[in-house]
Amino acid sequence: MSCNSNTETADTIYINGKIYTVNDAQPWAEAVAIKDGKFQKVGSSKEIEGFKGENTKVIDLEGKFSMPGMIDVHTHVIDAALPVIQLSDYYDVKKIQEEVKAAAEANPGDGWLYFNFYGFGIFPGDNGPKELIDEVVSDRPVMILHQSGHAFWVNSKALELAGITKDTPDPHQGIIARKPNGEPAGGLQERAMQLIWKARPAWTKDEIENAVNLANEVMASNGLTATREAGITPERYEVLKALEAEGKLKARYDCASHWQTTTTMLTPPNEEIFSYLMDNKDKQSSKLQLRTLKVFMDGVPASHTALLSEPYTDRPDTKGWQLIPQEDLEKALIKYDKNGVSAIFHCTGDQAVTLALDAIEAVRKANGDMGTRHHISHTLTIQPPIFLALKNLV
């Protein structure tokens, strides 16, 4: 059947399916027509046949289930797809040792070995002892990322190459786990992680490009058609831009740029980030956008760096960390918001959530509603009055 003169020809039509529409008014359909990546018509196979032209691709679903693609609003999909060795059991220390040893044997040389992950609570304070890695690999650097993403467990060789000794002071907003004599024990938290990143060779363009391609394949094969990449650096975004220009992106990316509050990796100076965002925020397409700032308000509970309103029960000497003074935060966010850039806040402690809301309120008072949509992620804990207030808004 050819398309009639009153109907625009579809690029693709799906017929004879059991299609869940996520539309309460029409929850199920048999067929859909798609043009330029958007739904033209949802209905019966007979209705959709009217959108078929000479060049329309017809896919017969043969009664199979189908649904619109899913959107994940907070991922680190490029990080996840980088060439990192995945451990099979995050909580079995002996098995971790065995797999680290096997990886070293399978990848001979003196280069860094990077693994994901070791799990919550398997060591006091989640600080892994360097000796446990040294037992299986001592002649080359090993780094294992904590499940939270906010700590490394490293061996003696990694500490040596990073220049970390008992005389190395804790970096600002960083923790070097130590033995009683001050010797580094093998655990590095928050900005102390950056000492390892400075010592390890940076990811190459090929590695980043391969990671993006792998992420595209994994997301598409699992029905994820759009994501917010919740933290990206300019060199990674440039790879995304190049792939989009070549028509290779299989998912839509809404990216948030890392910024001065990022503790877990290296980022460019704040001035460069502002300029980069200004240069790119209006160069948006249907598949790729950079219009958001990633703001770390605090760390994570595992490191006692999540910002709480009351002291930790097992560490009454601390309430955690606020990673940027409130006045500096509000001043910066007012500037970014005025220029059309929204913020996504990393908040795990209840006080971090409160201060993020205070910052958003300050931005709205200063700028009015600029059309930006600020977003708070994680919210592992939240004060009851705020929870009830937000609940009443829904």
DSSP 104-147: HHHS-SSS-EEEEEE-TTSSGGG---HHHHHTT--SS-EEEEET
Where exactly does CATH 3.20.20.140 map onto the chain?
A: 205-393
Q: What architecture does CATH give domain 79-199? A: Roll (3.10)
pLDDT recorded at residue 385: 87
pLDDT value, residue 7: 63
Contact 219, 250 (CB under 8 A): yes
Model confidence at 86: pLDDT above 70: yes
Q: Which two tokens stand for residue 204?
A: 């190459």
The helix/strand/coil state of 103 is helix
Distance CA 222, CA 213 (A): 14
pLDDT attached to residue 115: 98
Mean pLDDT of the 50-58 span: 94
Q: Residue 273 half-sphere exposure, CB side, CA atoms within 13 Å? A: 24
**Each residue's pLDDT tens digit, 160-198:** 999 999 999 999 999 999 999 999 999 999 999 999 999
Averaged pLDDT for residues 58-71: 94
Give the bridge partners for 60, in sequence order.
Answer: 15
Q: Is the pLDDT of residue 158 over 50?
A: yes
Whether omega for the bond prior to residue 274 falls within 30 degrees of 0, making it cis, is no
Q: Residue 247's pLDDT is what?
A: 87
> Where along the chain do the CATH 3.10.310.70 domains lie?
79-199
CATH hierarchy code of domain 205-393: 3.20.20.140
Question: Which amino acid is residue 193, in one-letter code?
Answer: M
Q: Quote the CA–CA distance of 136 and 103 in Å, as a whole number.
A: 10
Lowest-confidence segment of 19-23, 356-360, 383-387 by average pLDDT: 383-387
Single-letter amino acid code for the residue at 165: T
Residue 2: pLDDT over 60: no
| CATH assignment of 12-68, among 2.60.120.1090, 2.30.40.10, 3.50.50.60, 3.40.50.2300 | 2.30.40.10
* Res 393: pLDDT: 64
The percent of residues above 90 in pLDDT, for the chain, comes to 84
Question: 301 pLDDT exceeds 60?
Answer: yes
The set of residues, in sequence order, having a beta carbon less than 8 Å from that of 392 and lying 6+ positions away, is none
At residue 119, does pLDDT exceed 90? yes
Per-residue confidence band for 145, with pLDDT thresholds at 50, 70 and 90: very high
